Amino acid sequence: MKWRELLESVSVQASGGEGNPDIRDIVYNSRQAGPGTVFVAIPGTVAHGDRYIPDAVGRGAAAIVSQNPQPHLQAPWVQVARPRNILGELALTLWKLKLYEIKTVGITGTNGKTTCAHLFQQLFETRNGSDRAWLFGTISYHLGKQHKDAHRTTPESSDVFRLLGTTDVRPRSLVMEVSSHALDLNRIAGLTYDCAVFTNLTQDHLDYHKSMHEYYQAKKRLFTDYLRRKGAAIVNIDDTWGRRLATELSKGRIITYGKAHNADVRILNWRCRAHGLDMHLIYEGEIVELTSHLVGAFNVYNIAAFFAGARALGFDAAKVQAVLDSFDQIAGRMERVPLQADFDVIIDYAHTPDALHNVLATAQEFVAGRLFCLFGCGGDRDKAKRPLMAKAVVYNCDEAVITSDNPRGEKPQSIIDEILEGIPLDFAHRVIVDRRNAIAEILSMARPGDCIIIAGKGHETYQEINGQRHHFSDREEVIEAFTDLQSQESYA
């Protein structure tokens, strides 16, 4: 596509440079620039994209889009008000995409996004096949039969559009976890959704959003800015922020869920077991019974959200149950580590006070012995939640081991000291900074009937220290530590 043709739908403030080059890609990272690419200089939180224009031009970029005029460039350039918004618009135009031909679901909330997203993706597979049902989420990107590790929960819309535009088999459905950062930064500009789901809002990311109000306003944008005209908003009204959202929305169809008497999908009751749950819902005057291999009361809400969204998309209760019957365990979400042991070890991604409370409360329901928890907190993130994480553990556990998570640029001991502010002196706990040693120690503490929750990292296979990622898997470490423990016992 020619440069000038690409710009036909763009509101340009100023332009310059020479030529009308052929365009074959849209990039926002100068290292990806090359002949035939448009480099979009995005105003970043750390550095402005204009800083990298010389590098992009040096690599052969055919044209430049910026928030500021670039009169010194010979290559064609345009000045626009919001480069990130233009990023998605240009990619849509270049790849000639018809998004309304794709059924789309966007899920936002502090907790539950990943489980809900995988449920919807598997639901679409029943209709479209595995190669036509795509997913972008925290753990991985499912691009038909191809899976890629996720570098961030919500990718830039231009990256999504490039994948859609260059695949041999375009999807018929697209499910996305949509983070508050992505919404606040307009990272999904150009995307719209047939179904938008709000799971809940609890304390997290306040290092970025500064207040719960700002956090909520970012989440709300999924429904006000990105919901299609006839789309459905699925909202948890047992959540305080969800109730507020339901009253503030006017666009599209709203379907509420929860235990509240006025919920459209009302949770009547449920029974949680060690390896699953049963639940009853009321929807449009009918009682619906559902069973699942998922565990925990928090998954009752995830299933209710999934049911509400599935019905809005035209799937019946039988289809919902068929998905629940075949739904596999998600990596790092209440994931039992397969050990030949007389105690349980469960890995979970819980890294907020509410998520950690929910996971531990679930474990309490089936543990016969003592409940242990190994946890830490990420560095360079919301510091206010650190003592609150500790309080969730104290409230639910018999004993804890406090260790390092992803310290990033902070000193692990400094993070732990702030966690300890929420630990009473009379609560049984140990501090072991090295996570590998901490896992080995907590396994040695377990006796028959006990349960160990290893929280915070879940599916992650790295530990980030001083800007460097080192391979580290809680699952692998548990298996190795247990093997060593067995060897020691055999020689005892």
What is the per-residue pLDDT for 488? 79
Q: Is the dihedral of CA 328, 331, 335, 338 positive or negative?
A: positive
Domain span at residue 144 reads 99-326
Does residue 427 sit in the same domain as residue 347? yes
Do residues 214 and 263 both lie within one domain? yes
Say if residue 294 is in the same domain as residue 269: yes
Q: What confidence tens digit (pLDDT) does each residue in 53-86 have?
A: 999 999 999 999 999 999 999 999 999 999 988 9
Tokens of 477: 């470490």
Residues 320 and 353 in one domain: no
**CATH code of the domain in which 284 resides:** 3.40.1190.10
**In 3-state terms, what secondary structure has residue 72?**
coil
User: Residue 409 is part of a domain; what is its CATH number?
Assistant: 3.90.190.20
Query: Using one digit for the tens of pLDDT, what is the confidence trace for 139-169?
Result: 888 888 788 877 778 899 999 999 999 988 8
Tell me the CATH number at 58.
3.40.1390.10
Question: Both 258 and 348 in a single domain?
Answer: no
189-219 pLDDT, tens digit per residue, is 999 999 999 999 986 666 665 788 998 999 9
Q: From 326, 360, 380, give the residue that closes a domain.
A: 326
Buried b or exposed e, range 183-206, using 16+ CB within 10 angstroms: bbbbbbbbbbbbbbbbbbbbbbbb
Least Cα distance to 277 among 300, 304, 307 occurs for 300
pLDDT at position 422 is 94
Q: Which of 285, 309, 326 is the C-terminal boundary of a domain?
A: 326
The helix/strand/coil state of 320 is helix
SS3 state at 137: coil
Question: Whose structure tokens read 């009682």?
Answer: 287
One domain, residues 298 and 353:
no
Question: In the chain, what percentage of residues exceed pLDDT 90?
Answer: 74
**Same domain, residue pair 37 and 106:** no
Check whether residue 188 and residue 317 sit in a common domain. yes
Helix (H, G, I), strand (E, B) or coil at 2: strand
Which residue, 95, 123, 151, sits at the end of a domain? 95
How far, in Å, CA of 266 to CA of 286, rounded? 10
Q: What is the pLDDT of residues 231-277, one digit of tens each?
A: 999 999 999 999 999 999 986 699 999 999 999 999 999 998 878 89
Neighbours of 471 (CB within 10 A): 8
- Answer yes or no: do 172 and 297 share one domain: yes
CB 314 within 8 A of CB 281: no
Rounded Cα gap, residues 195 and 175, in angstroms? 9
469 and 409 share a domain? yes
Stronger pLDDT, 489 or 191, i.e. the higher one: 191
Short-list 399, 385, 336, 344, CA closest to 367: 344
What is the pairing mode between strands 335-336 and 344-348?
A: antiparallel
- Report how many domains make up the chain: 3
Domain shared by 456 and 359, yes or no: yes
427: left (phi over 0), alpha (psi -120 to 50) or beta: beta
